[in-house]
Structure 1
């Protein structure tokens, strides 16, 4: 045993894996690589590269402001092939912003789900399994940004300050991003089942190093 081992494996509290199912309410894709906003379609065919021809398709991508540990523009694995949103969470964001509605297309959503509670808090490694055989592996929360806020503002010009308000009120509600683990097609009306893996909190040790961006 080393001085860094503060707890034995069986002393770390864990939550058993489980499944929770929801419904596909809509599917969307970009129509231009110059605009991240999406348009509703009847179905999406997803490959290992994501949505073919979509702005975010590809095995790799360039790093940006979300990855300050790399020089901007560094080629890296594309774990952000697909954006998945929740009907309930969008409604809550809209309420906080004083809007009647907030459409998933405005903020670049690809798949809109209902009936999965706290979608944005699904832990990394969760597998989203769809009726048609598609499987998406969740990477994590899609952090809200001002660019999405500006898109919302463009659809609601009668409101001021929405570009800055969105990042403040949408944290923990803006959905998740993921990558394709098993290709397939997805359509509105399908069931999507989240397979949540066993979870635990990794304990901090006395010798931890504070993360620096």
Structure 2
């Protein structure tokens, strides 16, 4: 049995933990409980519930279409307190969609970062450590949806089909969601360091 376990362990290719650095380009928050779109602000006050007063704040949330394994409306842990976007990826999505720009506010972003390559592919358990002391733990990537596409279409009148085009062109580029591990304040201009954990691919044998 020991030899078999050792054989299985040797089949995994382990990528060591590492760090990379970036910059906060902008911070945003919702202004209405009825609208997921955000508005630029000077700074974000972070608590263990997320952004104070934000639509997506709270220790818990209700399950929806992303959690088909639960009855819709089931109360669950809120691992989606914060939406983190990449300035470079927003620019790439805009190019793919053939629009002049894609603003973080249109798709409900809370934090826009620059300088971190392939931000959306950052793995779960990564810690985003901000210069001011805030730490956000990454839950995973944020899947692009038609609702965000509709907001993009509304901001770009005259273009047909942008609502459906966004989920196609933004796949694996729509940023991350996470939750507050250490609270505090985040402002534009401060540095951020990604602490990426040791990684491996767990495959079916």
SS of equivalent residue, structure 1 residue 137: strand
1:151 aligns with 2:151: yes
- The corresponding residue for 1:187 is 187
Give the Cα–Cα distance (whole angstroms) in 2 for the partners of residues 180 and 41 of structure 1.
18
1:104 aligns with 2:99: no
- The corresponding residue for 1:140 is 140
Give the Cα–Cα distance (whole angstroms) in 1 for the partners of residues 82 and 91 of structure 2.
21
- The corresponding residue for 1:14 is 14
- Please list, as runs of the form range in 1=range in 2, the aligned pairs for 1:63-212 lying within 5 A after superposition: 63-205=63-205
- The corresponding residue for 1:61 is 61
- Runs of at least 5 residues in structure 1 that lack an aligned partner in the other structure: 206-213
- Runs of at least 5 residues in structure 2 that lack an aligned partner in the other structure: none
1:36 aligns with 2:42: no
Relative to the length of structure 2, the TM-score reads 0.97
Give the Cα–Cα distance (whole angstroms) in 2 for the partners of residues 51 and 153 of structure 1.
27
Q: CA deviation at 1:7?
A: 4.0
Give the Cα–Cα distance (whole angstroms) in 1 for the partners of residues 27 and 17 of structure 2.
28
Deviations 1:82-118, CA, capped at 9 Å, x for gaps: 0000000000100111101000000000000000000
SS of equivalent residue, structure 1 residue 15: coil
Give the Cα–Cα distance (whole angstroms) in 2 for the partners of residues 25 and 89 of structure 1.
13
Relative to the length of structure 1, the TM-score reads 0.93
Give the Cα–Cα distance (whole angstroms) in 2 for the partners of residues 65 and 192 of structure 1.
32
Give the Cα–Cα distance (whole angstroms) in 1 for the partners of residues 7 and 99 of structure 2.
48
Deviations 1:164-209, CA, capped at 9 Å, x for gaps: 000011010000000001101100010010000000011312xxxx
Aligned-residue RMSD, C-alpha: 1.3
SS of equivalent residue, structure 1 residue 101: coil
Going from structure 1 to structure 2, the CA distance change for 1:7 and 1:38 (only over 3 Å counts) comes to farther
